[in-house]
Structure 1
Amino acid sequence: MSNKYKNNFAESANNHMYIGMINESSLEKEGGPLIVKKAEGIYLTSYDDEKYFDGISGMYFRNVGHGREEIAKAIYEQLTDVSMNVYAATTPVAVKLAKKIADITPGNLNKTFFCQGGSEANESSLKMAQAYHVRNGERGRYKIISRDGSYHGSTYQTMWLGGHPGFPRTDYHPAPTNLIHVDQPNYYRRSIKDQSPEEFAEYLVKDIEEKILFHGPDSISCFLGEPVSQPLGGVVPPDNYWPMVREVCDKYGILLIFDEVITGFGRLGEWFGSNIVNTTPDIMSFAKGVTSGYFPLGGSISTKKISDSFLGEPKKSWSHMYTYSAHPGGAAAGLKNLEIVERENLVENAKKRGEQLFENLSEIKNKYKIVGDNRGVGLLQGLEIVKNEETKEHFDSSLNLNQILTEKLKNRGIWIRVPAFILPVAPALTVTKDQVDQISTAIDESIGELEKEIS
C-alpha cells in the first residue's frame, strides 16, 4: 500500500472507482475516500475506526437513520419469496406500497409508476406529462419550464433542468432546446430592495406567465420544481408563490410536477413539501426517503386525470417501463420504512428538531460576517457563505473554502461535504435534541475558525 493512503481499501477505491464527483488527485490528498465499515443511528464508523456524525443523511435519504435491521430483514424475507418482476405482472408487496403512498400523498394523487431513483423518477414524470398531452390531442406540448439553481437529477435531460452550483455541465453541451428557465423564489438572493415576500412572489409569477406567452402556451407540457429547493440550502418560497404558479399552470393547460425526491416522506416536518406550500401537483416525483435508501426505489405518482388518459384501446397505453420497476425488494423496504416513520412519529420529530436547528443556525448567521443567510424548514436547512454581507458577493472559488470548511467539520466529527458556497444541514429524522446541538456547535466552531483565518 502507498503511504499516501489511509488503508488498502482507500487506495483500491481510488484506483478502481469513480466516487462522487471528486477526482482521484483530490481524494489522494485526503488519504483516499472515506471507507465506511459500520453505520448506526446517525453515526458512521470508518475503516480506521473514526466516528462521524452523518450531517446530510447519506445524500438526503437516510430518513430513519442507519442500521435498521428490520428493514434489512423485510428485504431478505421478500427476496426469498419473490425476488423479481415478471413483465406485465406485479407482486402483492408492490401493490401494498402503491396503495400506502396514495393514502399519504396530498390531494387526489393516486396512481404510481415505480422506478429505481430520483433521476429516473423525474424522467418518468416528464414523459408521463408529455404523453398525457399527446393522448389529449396536443402533440405540440413538449417544452418544460424549470428553475435556475434547482437539481432534478444527473441523466442527460434532468441535469439541464436546473443549475446546481456544485454540478457543472460544461462537458455536456449543447443543451436541450425544449427548456425554459425561470428564477428561483430565493428572497435573499433575488428580491428587489423594499420588496415584500408576497410582492417578490407576484413579480416571479408574472415573469413566468410572460415567458409562457412568449414561447406559446400550446407548446408547453409542464412546470417542474421542488416545493422547497435543496441545492441553495432549502429555499422556502413565499406563501403565495406555489398557489399562484398552480393558477397560471391551470390557466394555460400546463401540468404541474413536484420533485419531492428530497422533500418527501417527512424531511420537512410534514409528510410532503406539497403540504408545506399548500399546493397539490398533477404529478409528483419521489425517491430517497421512501425507503430511506435501504433499497434503490423511486416513482412518479399522478392524479386520476392523468392516469385516465391512458385508458381505452391498447395504443393509448403509456409507453414507458424499466426492467426493475416496482422491484419487490424495494417495495418491502418501502413498506417497512414507512411503518417506522409512523411508529416513531418521525415526521413530528423532524418538525420539532427542525425548529431547534433553525434557531441554532440563525444564531450562527448573526454571529459571523461570512454567513449571509440561513434558510430551510424541518431537517432541510443550510447556511450561505459570502465574502461581503452587503453585496452578497461569494468568495473566489479558487480559494477552495468549501473544501477547507469540509475538513474543519470533519476534524470535529461531522461528515458534510460542502458544495460550493452552501453548507447543507440535513440529519436523519431520528436526530435528538442533544445531537442537533452537537452538530450546531461543530458548525459554529468551524465557521468561526474559518472567518478568523480569512480575515
Structure 2
Amino acid sequence: MTTLNEWDKKHFIHPTSSIQEQQANGPKVIFNKSEGIYLTSKDGTKYIDAMSSLWNVNIGHGRKEIAEAAKEQMEQLAYSSCFSNFSNEPAIRLAKKIASLAPPSLNAVFFTSGGSESNDSAIKIVRHYWRIQGQPERNKIVALRRGYHGVSAGATSATGIPEFWDMAGNLMQGFVHAKSPYEIGTEASIQSIREVIEAEGPEKIAAFMAEPVQGAGGVLIPPKDYYKAVRKICNEYGILYIADEVITGFGRTGKMFGVENYGVEPDVLTFAKGVTSGYFPLGGVIVSDHVHNVLKEKSEGVLFHGFTYSGHPTGAAVALKNLEILERENLVDNSFKMGEELQKGFKSIKEESTIVGDIRTLGLLGAMEFVQDPLTNKRFPAELKVAPRIIAALHERGVICRAVTYDNTDIVCFSPPLIITKAQIDDLVAILREAVLIVQQEVEEQLAAL
C-alpha cells in the first residue's frame, strides 16, 4: 500500500482534486472491488456509493453480464473507425435503441466518448445548423448560472459555475448566462432568459442550453412548468433548445430522460454516464428530425467533427447490454419509487434537525441543504461550512457523497445506483441522520463560542 501511495503522489494527477492534499496525504481511498451499491477499498473498508461514483453507475457495480458482453464484442471486433461512413453493427443497433427510448421527435444519434464531448458536439452542431442555412451570425449559446456542462473548451464556457473558469478562463467566445430559478425564482429566471436574448439580439442566438436538473450545481430541481416556459421562449425567438441529459438520462430522475418530467421535447439532447453505467466511456448527441433534415439537405461535403472512439463497437455493445438490464429490471420505475423513499428519509431528518434547510429529490437525484436558520434560510458563516463536515462524517461511517459550496451554499448531493432497495435506503438515511446530528452539535457549540 505504501508503494501505491507514493506512486500515486509521484505519477497520478487526479481530476477535480486538490494536488496539495494529494501530496500531503496521498490518495484518500484506493478502491479495488465493487458490487451492487458498494465499493470496497484495498484495506477492506466497505462504502455505500451514494453518488453512483460520478452520477453514472445506474445499474450498480460488478455486473458480470456487462463484462461478458464486452469480452464477446472484443473477441469479434474490438474497435473499428466510423469515419468516412465506415460502420459497425453494435453502433447501428445502439443508435436505433437510443432513438426508441428518446422523446419521439429525436431519432438521429452522434456518438462521443463522454459528457463533455457530447456537449461540445451539440454546440458545434447547432452552430453548423445555422451556418449551413446562411446565418453564421447565429452562434451564441445562452445557458444558466449554476449549470454544469463539462470541462472541455466549449462545455466549460457553457458551464455557469465561475470556479470552473478560474483554471484557464472562459475558453470560447459567444456564451452568455441567465440567472437560474434557484437564484431568483421561476418567473424572474424566465425573465432573465428573455432579457439576455433581447440584449444579445435573437438573430445572434443559436441555442439555449440547460440541464433538466442542475446536478453539479447542487441538484437544483426547477418547478414543473419551468421548461415549458423556456420551450415557449425558444419557439418565440426561433432558438434551438439543447437539453443536457448527461446526468439525468437513462432513469436517474424516475423517467427515462429528465425532460419527460416537464412535458417538453428539446431540439438536441446530450447524454453519457448512464448509457453504459460507467462500464465504458461513451456519450452522444440526439438531434430532432427537423435538425437532422436540415443537416441532410444543407450540409455539403465532409462533416469535420468526430472523435476516434465515436461509435466504438465495444462501447456500443456494453451500452446495449446496460440498457437491456435497465429495462429488464424495471430500474427506471425503481428509481421513481426509491426516490420517494429517499425523500421520506430526508424529511424525517429535517424534522429532527435545526440545521437542515431545503430537501429535494427527483427520482434518485437528491440534495439536502444546510443553513444556520431554516426559518429565514440564513446561511452559515464561511468559516463554519457544514456540507464538507457532513461529507467527512459520512465518509468515516462508510458512505460516499458530494458537497457543493458554490456561492456560499451548503449542499450535500445524493445519486445512488438505481438498483438500491428500501432496506439500503434505510441504512443510508440512518447513517446520514447520525452524521447530521453530530455535525449539528459541533457547529452549535462553535456558534455559541463566537
How far the C-alpha of 1:360 sits from its partner, in A, is 0.9
Contact 1:259 1:286 in 2 (8 A): yes
Task: Tell me what 1:365 maps to.
Answer: 350
The alignment partner of 2:254 has SS state of: coil
The match for 1:171 among 167, 173, 176 is 167
Alpha-carbon spacing, 1:136–1:415, altered in 2? closer, same or farther (3 Å): same
The match for 1:428 among 412, 417, 436 is 417
Task: Tell me what 1:135 maps to.
Answer: 132
Task: Tell me what 1:148 maps to.
Answer: 145
Contact 2:132 2:298 in 1 (8 A): no
Residue deviations 1:385-427 (CA, integer Å, cap 9, x gap): 2234355344344456443322210111112242422211110
5 Å-filtered alignment, 1:55-74, equals 55-74=50-69
The match for 1:97 among 84, 94, 97 is 94
- Percent identity between matched residues is 38
Matched positions, count: 438
How far the C-alpha of 1:34 sits from its partner, in A, is 0.9
Name stretches of at least 5 consecutive residues in structure 2 with no aligned partner: 445-450
Alpha-carbon spacing, 1:224–1:398, altered in 2? closer, same or farther (3 Å): same
Please tell me whether residue 409 in structure 1 is matched to residue 355 in structure 2: no
Task: Tell me what 2:447 maps to.
Answer: none
Task: Tell me what 1:269 maps to.
Answer: 254
Contact 1:233 1:380 in 2 (8 A): no
The alignment partner of 1:52 has SS state of: strand
5 Å-filtered alignment, 1:6-155, equals 7-27=2-22, 32-86=27-81, 87-88=83-84, 89-155=86-152
| Structure 1, 230-239 or 113-122: larger mean CA deviation | 230-239
Is the helix fraction higher in 1 or 2?
Answer: 2
How far the C-alpha of 1:238 sits from its partner, in A, is 1.5
How far the C-alpha of 1:367 sits from its partner, in A, is 2.6
Task: Tell me what 2:448 maps to.
Answer: none
Amino acid at match of 2:436: I
Please tell me whether residue 303 in structure 1 is matched to residue 299 in structure 2: no
How far the C-alpha of 1:280 sits from its partner, in A, is 0.5
How far the C-alpha of 1:28 sits from its partner, in A, is 5.3
Please tell me whether residue 449 in structure 1 is matched to residue 438 in structure 2: yes
How far the C-alpha of 1:31 sits from its partner, in A, is 5.4
Alpha-carbon spacing, 1:175–1:76, altered in 2? closer, same or farther (3 Å): closer
Contact 2:106 2:286 in 1 (8 A): yes
5 Å-filtered alignment, 1:330-349, equals 330-349=315-334
Task: Quote the Cα distance in structure 1 between the aligned partners of 2:299 and 2:188.
Answer: 45
Task: Quote the Cα distance in structure 2 between the aligned partners of 1:21 and 1:95.
Answer: 34
Residue deviations 1:318-352 (CA, integer Å, cap 9, x gap): 33111110101110010000000011110110010
How far the C-alpha of 1:268 sits from its partner, in A, is 0.7
Contact 1:117 1:296 in 2 (8 A): yes
Amino acid at match of 1:183: K
Alpha-carbon spacing, 1:317–1:281, altered in 2? closer, same or farther (3 Å): farther
Task: Quote the Cα distance in structure 2 between the aligned partners of 1:232 and 1:394.
Answer: 17
Contact 1:311 1:317 in 2 (8 A): no
Task: Quote the Cα distance in structure 2 between the aligned partners of 1:247 and 1:313.
Answer: 26
Contact 1:235 1:376 in 2 (8 A): no
Task: Quote the Cα distance in structure 2 between the aligned partners of 1:61 and 1:174.
Answer: 27
Task: Quote the Cα distance in structure 2 between the aligned partners of 1:453 and 1:29.
Answer: 26
Q: Tell me how large the CA RMSD over aligned residues is.
A: 1.9
How far the C-alpha of 1:228 sits from its partner, in A, is 1.4
The alignment partner of 2:412 has SS state of: strand
Residue deviations 1:268-306 (CA, integer Å, cap 9, x gap): 111010111111100000000000010000000001111
Task: Quote the Cα distance in structure 2 between the aligned partners of 1:390 and 1:155.
Answer: 40
Residue deviations 1:60-96 (CA, integer Å, cap 9, x gap): 0000000011111111111111122233211001100
Task: Quote the Cα distance in structure 1 between the aligned partners of 2:160 and 2:299.
Answer: 39
How far the C-alpha of 1:222 sits from its partner, in A, is 0.3
The match for 1:355 among 340, 343, 365 is 340
Using the size of structure 2 for normalisation, the TM-score is 0.93
